């Protein structure tokens, strides 16, 4: 029997803690307001705390930011292209299962706003943003929680250099109003593997300055994730390579590099990796408020394997 992924999401409401005081982190523009520091690095395998919220966290993903903390508990991890051909991660936590700490946390991009719209109105934890993007974040259908808005929830580790040392303690975030939580269908369906597909032991997705390799482990029944040739320790059950339009946005980073914008509304090709096989199909998202639907070449919904899902957004082939 197939099941669909439903999330308990907060209904729209006023968030008293929100302000427009975001600033980019030191690696992007200006330092955020003072955040508590910590001499101890975050735990490599943190225990979890349970809290009924939906949380998205923007994660640094250059070499000095690895290994990451708190990503094993994420339900979905999105990979997005940013400036200079590099990538960042957007980790989505659901069902109230949150890590004790997560990071390193970095700044938001315009792509996040449209992508996250399909999650209803989640909390977005991020280190800051480009100044001209801040008004769009304030108006977006989400609850922003930057260090400027929730300083007690963040700390810097002395084990790493700035700006790759900012971490979030999710339990210290003020929750989004959720008295009128509703079930939202994200379009993700879990169940038995579809028929067909081709045996695949390994698949690599390349960006101009980054690459991800997913290697099937039959012993674990999961895909091992390598980033730029280094093992991450992360093992999703399903990997979705979503091909689409990646174009220039109107924003630039502090060095003048144009920020790419990945379109997540529309349609395109998709490659789904599960159970050691690859399935070709299509993705379609009619509007920002609707979920992304994944189907095979015959138009039938593609069911994912139980466990963490990675959605790798990349330019069309």
For residues 215 and 229, is the Cβ–Cβ distance under 8 A? no
According to the model, what pLDDT value does residue 24 have?
47
According to the model, what pLDDT value does residue 187 have?
62
Residues 6+ apart with CB under 8 A from 211: 204, 205, 227, 228, 229
pLDDT in tens, the chain (317 residues): 555 554 443 333 322 333 333 444 444 544 344 444 444 445 444 343 333 457 999 999 999 999 999 999 999 999 999 999 999 999 999 876 789 999 999 999 999 999 999 888 889 999 999 889 999 999 999 999 999 999 999 999 999 999 999 999 999 998 766 544 444 556 678 999 888 899 999 999 999 999 999 999 999 999 999 999 999 999 999 999 999 999 988 887 777 788 899 999 999 999 999 999 999 999 999 999 999 999 999 999 999 999 999 999 999 87
pTM reported for the whole predicted model: 0.85
According to the model, what pLDDT value does residue 43 have?
47
As a whole number of angstroms, the distance between CA 67 and CA 56 comes to 19
According to the model, what pLDDT value does residue 172 have?
93
According to the model, what pLDDT value does residue 317 have?
78
Going by DSSP bridges, is the β-strand pair 293-296/277-285 parallel, antiparallel, or unpaired? antiparallel
Joined together, the tokens standing for residue 183 give: 């079930």
As a whole number of angstroms, the distance between CA 292 and CA 7 comes to 14
According to the model, what pLDDT value does residue 178 have?
55
List of domains in the chain: 3-7+21-182 (3.50.90.10), 186-315 (3.50.90.10)
According to the model, what pLDDT value does residue 135 have?
94
């Amino acid at each position: 029997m197939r099941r669909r992924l439903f999330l308990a999401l907060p209904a729209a409401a006023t968030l008293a803690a929100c302000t427009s005081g975001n600033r980019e982190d030191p690696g992007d523009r200006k330092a955020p307001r003072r955040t508590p520091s910590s001499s101890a690095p975050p735990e490599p395998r943190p225990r979890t705390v349970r809290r009924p919220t939906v949380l998205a966290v923007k994660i640094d993903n250059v070499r000095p930011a690895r290994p990451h903390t708190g990503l094993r508990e994420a339900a979905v991890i999105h990979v997005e292209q940013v400036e200079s051909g590099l990538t960042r991660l957007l980790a989505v936590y659901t069902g109230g299962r949150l890590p004790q700490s997560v990071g390193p946390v970095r700044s938001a991009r315009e792509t996040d706003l449209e992508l996250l719209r399909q999650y209803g109105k989640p909390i977005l934890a991020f280190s800051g943003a480009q100044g001209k993007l801040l008004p769009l974040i304030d108006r977006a259908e989400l609850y922003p929680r930057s260090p400027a808005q929730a300083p007690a929830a963040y700390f810097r580790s002395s084990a790493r250099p700035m700006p790759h040392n900012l971490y979030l303690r999710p339990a210290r975030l003020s929750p989004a109003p959720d008295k009128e939580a509703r079930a939202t269908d994200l379009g993700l369906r879990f169940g038995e593997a579809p028929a067909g597909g081709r045996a695949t032991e390994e698949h690599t997705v390349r960006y101009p300055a980054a690459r991800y390799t997913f290697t099937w482990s039959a012993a674990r029944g999961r895909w091992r994730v390598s980033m730029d040739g280094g093992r991450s320790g992360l093992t999703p059950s399903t990997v979705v390579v979503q091909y689409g339009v990646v174009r220039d946005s109107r924003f630039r980073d502090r060095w003048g590099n144009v920020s790419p914008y990945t379109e997540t509304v529309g349609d395109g090709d998709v490659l789904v990796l599960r159970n050691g096989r690859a399935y070709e199909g299509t993705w379609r998202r009619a509007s920002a408020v609707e979920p992304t639907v994944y189907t095979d070449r015959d138009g039938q919904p593609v069911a994912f394997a139980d466990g963490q899902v990675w959605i790798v957004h990349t330019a069309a082939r």
